[in-house]
Structure 1
């Protein structure tokens, strides 16, 4: 069964010594599974049942990990509250998600005071008789919201099967193909991406799926990450370029670290710093509306046409993901608006039929990006459609203009 609890159930059986840890204390996957069962029992006593939406406001912690499996395993739906949004938009997402319960940690007391439903501090979570974590794969499991950079945040709801397919696609690209930020069960994953961004890009599912150790060390802190890397306790992380720059500014040795990065353009100087510190990196392209779509791999084209310079700009479709480019008049022949489809693509935006009709068409998701297809099947993102400059009947990506201007400046 393609369900979230089945991943941890398998891990507790096969990988007896693998753990989830906050950096100070650790719990085996078997213990975490049993904790999730008892947490589910406690939540059931508080009225959480099938279809209930439970919002969780917390940083990356082992407790959040266990709540993911407890909530989804009892046929409820988890909404990792997008804490990057402005306060008024957070309130909007809580309302639109249909959340009736909010679980929160210390930093989010103010949010809990404003929440109209039932609230529960993570320190006050009660355990009860264990609940069997057994659900159907077409059961709704995870609620996510877009960033809200263009209008209000839009809700997306994924079933167990969809989210597992999306997470496993990342795992397969990083384990079965030649890519710099490769993964195996011997690695220790320390996700720097917070849980409210696609559940830390799927890390709490990917780690137990591979039998790898998982570090959940709270809010991102470059000093903490650097120390754990230097001590050899963390071997792999995911982060956006801004986080990477903060990590590189620490005095810690980062030799051998593997980084999956994306969310914005990877600049040339960051690539140079990665290589100076003996950091291997792969780039990822995706979003709340489609999960992971592509991750860079060492294709023949990548090796022959610029190496890491190529990989910073080009990503390759994950297994069972597919791109198509919709050409518009005035675009160069190999350019187009990027559409994506995959088995894990959601049906649309939750309770937003008009927005759904605009973005999800005939099984394809309109990403809103303009890209170029490369000879090796990879996709190079050029710009957002709305940011592209149209001049003399031609489409000119602003990123190209910025690159030209950058090379001309002293």
Structure 2
């Protein structure tokens, strides 16, 4: 009996051993990914780079996806390749975001930091540009041009203390003070002789040493206009920023935008010019700035606002003899016109506090209503600054 049981056990072991090699064959096979099976993370990055170099960036993403599957937290090189692929496909903002991810992982990529900072400055996004400019200055605190840009961007965001701090750092360097007159003579000579590039280069080089010298900005604008430079708008923006309380530089920048048929942006500049006029220079002649505001409304097809400015010009000229009843009657006709509301705030500010506050409230309500259609909060480099009296 024992012998029989032993034979049965031996037979069962034999049968089991014969069929064991068949189990992997009979089981459901796992899908094999040849890319993952034969290539590692480094290989996949190299293959993605090859596709970008070969001008087939869309195919690079296939290898980048596989690379991230192997390494769910990829290093800076992965994001640089992703950015390059996006850029070549014209997906600029996706590319910039990828570069930002790369910078987070490797902070000493200073050329890349400047590239992102300059991109955001060109896009008129001062907050983002200032972030990366400051990031650069943490590693290169004596970079004069970047100190200057940090000052410009700070003021555009209303950070006046930071603006003054950066300007003081620049102005404390007296290296070229003794050459100031000779420099200005040289600049004017270049302008007179139409040597636009020389004047542009010279203005830009020394601007950081004389950041509040008006003549430096005048020659920079003239030089860039003379050579039809794509950086002319940047010169207008810098000038309007440094001389923020002036009206004429907003007017000149706005006229430039009109020439480019960017009428809504031009309107935003002329509006700030009118605001500056009421706040800082109320005795000046408002005819020119209001004419340009009117022209912008006409170009935008805003007929009612165009008529409003015609009426406002008369009220502005007659403001000493104007009565509250007359002004409010005119205002009720054009109750949504921004310039009329500003003028009412200005006119009542020395006559009736309650009326002043009422029109301030109406201006806020009006801006809220037109915020999207007029891009009030995102239009241009000065959108973050207040325009209420």
Which bin holds the TM-score, normalised by the shorter protein? under 0.3
Task: Name the structure, 1 or 2, with higher relative contact order (CA <8 Å, separation 6+).
Answer: 1
TM-score by length of 2: 0.27
TM-score by length of 1: 0.26
- Structure number having the greater helix percentage: 2
- Structure number having the greater strand percentage: 1
Q: Bigger radius of gyration, 1 or 2?
A: 2
